[in-house]
Structure 1
């Protein structure tokens, strides 16, 4: 990712923070704009062309989307188009990130990170489902219908919108990769980090609180926990935050003991 894109993403995220009236309809329109821009090489090229004046790119957004989308949506799209992006593909990625962030802002009360994680686990455990959602041959509406069926009553509206929109416009990416990226964006929007906890049994409320407090002290940020029940852990916990792994499981201590005896 180029430095121009990094700065553009930051500016676009700030525009969302300062925007008013961001709800699920705005997020839905932003996802629709991602599809429209991605589907037209001419449009994506024109909107990400840094040699054109920023005002001209913003005016093009108004001309294309102004009559169909709400003013909040159009304003956010204009702000994104005014930035300098390294490539047209990164501009499309930036719009997608903006849409995920908008869905996150639309309802702060739901555990979108956890719901995305659980759906990702479902996909990972079912090869046929992953193929149905990520295969190049399936049509977008069919994938959206499948997501709706799977998540109906099991996930919030923001999560359902994010998942449905991503699988309809995968752009060659694997479903699990899309979900992990979305989970990371949601956590960043909420100024938190995601910790995946591997345990032999579910954690109770007090255990979760103690772990979150310990991780907050270590990483200096609020922590969202995703728990995976793994009998091989035996006891204790294994915690992964990005590439950082904290292994306090009994199985790890036993392995270490065996190495010491053997060595």
Structure 2
């Protein structure tokens, strides 16, 4: 958990640069990529994190350090964001990297806004989450900090048909396993889904069924979860014949599984206990 000081610094920088990232339009993708590269740099260099968060060091001095690291190669907006973050106070040294990651995701969302594809990316991330949630061995390998980043990425690329997905979806998913940042792959995916949904001021509800939802069913779910969650709801409908019937509903970290296959698995576990 981040302390109040870090949360405030993160929020204030995000609010400060929101309009500039939005105005950047397609150029926001470069900012997103550069910021994420800086996250990796911070994760690999604790001494750099300390240098950029040292309270006794002036904001101007920290700004000079950012300039020296980027050597004029980064977008000016990237530089301004990093200097602003370096000039703020942090509860813990490592929290500055988390804030840079937050701004990177913001930049990616403003880029997809400019393309009209933010909802598509959020839905595709939800589809990946739904496709992998019941594969514990795969998820273990995608979150195995003792394996190489390349091995984890290669596994993900072999599992997911990224050629039909948006490039930002691919990059975010690849980042989630290439640089685990002390998290589980699926947790990072859910965090990204929530962030994109919040950006659109709505909640993504993923509904997995054996056959496509009817329009009436979709409308009923929108009304039901809209009332329950108090926000506009988008239904991400995933068709998976292997569930056989019923519905699996996911939003946030919550999963309600009433599919036939889930009920059969419960029955099998019960029989094994009483047998």
Q: TM-score, length-normalised on structure 1?
A: 0.79
Q: How many residue pairs are counted as aligned between the two chains?
A: 250
Corresponding residue to 1:184 among 194, 201, 206:
194
1:63 matched to 2:68? The reply is yes
Q: 1:218 to 1:128 in 2, by over 3 A?
A: closer
Corresponding residue to 2:93 among 73, 76, 88:
88
CA distance in 1, matches of 2:99, 2:190: 16
State the match for 1:259 in structure 2. Answer: none
State the match for 1:47 in structure 2. Answer: 52
1:173 matched to 2:183? The reply is yes
Q: Is the Cα–Cα contact under 8 Å of residues 197 and 226 in structure 1 kept in the other structure?
A: yes
CA distance in 2, matches of 1:244, 1:207: 20
| Unaligned ranges ≥5, structure 2 | 260-275
CA distance in 2, matches of 1:39, 1:243: 29
CA distance in 1, matches of 2:214, 2:163: 24
* SS state at 2:54 partner: coil
Q: Is the Cα–Cα contact under 8 Å of residues 194 and 252 in structure 2 kept in the other structure?
A: no
Structure 1 ranges of 4+ moved more than 6 A:
243-249
State the match for 2:12 in structure 1. Answer: 11
CA distance in 2, matches of 1:82, 1:213: 45
Matches within 5 A, 1:113-262: 113-149=122-158, 150-197=160-207, 201-227=211-237, 234=246, 241-242=251-252
Moved more, 1-10 or 135-144: 135-144
Q: 1:6 to 1:152 in 2, by over 3 A?
A: same
Moved more, 183-192 or 139-148: 139-148
Q: Deviations over 1:146-186 (max 9, x none)?
A: 44453422321111111112211102321111111111122
| Unaligned ranges ≥5, structure 1 | 250-263
* SS state at 1:117 partner: helix
Q: 1:72 to 1:107 in 2, by over 3 A?
A: same
Q: Measure how far apart 1:66 and its partner are.
A: 4.3
Q: TM-score, length-normalised on structure 2?
A: 0.76
